[in-house]
Chains A and B, each alone.
Chain A
Amino acid sequence: MKTGLKLLAAGIALYLAITGAFFVVMSQSPEKIAKTMMRVPWTAFRVFPLRTVWMNARSGSVQRGEIAPDFSLESADHKSHFQLSSLRGQKPVVLVFGSYT
């Protein structure tokens, strides 16, 4: 019985340690996240609470209510530049961050 409890405790500790390790990985830069996660089977997302870990680890530093960090970027077709602050006082802006894959 004691052995069973010890095994259970060890199992829980291991589960929490691995979950914590995922948090550390997912708190890193995208490149490091990708390079580590490429070696992790996708089934890990079913075994460990990785959605929750992901949402927390990548919550980011800017918060609602803060001035949006300014940027000036070229359009994909090279035809124009867009500076976020140029629309301040004029209209709201929706930003969709993403990629193709």
Chain B
Amino acid sequence: MTALKETNTVGVDQIRECLESLGEAEWVREMIEYYRENGRFRPEDVRRLLGDPTQSVEIGPSASLPKFFAVS
């Protein structure tokens, strides 16, 4: 219950302010800079941006969220 009380003390305005203050991540700036200079993305950026091409997102009765986000 303590955790719940602590969560409830954070107001909507505070959450909104926190989200609105989020800046562009450092790796995104580096990625854009690299793309401008080289005309392509670094391999690690492509993976990070697009995800694993052998993975899928499943929705429906047989879908398993823990399986989709399985931690190996």
Partners in one complex: no
Q: Give B contacts to A, CB under 8 Å.
A: none
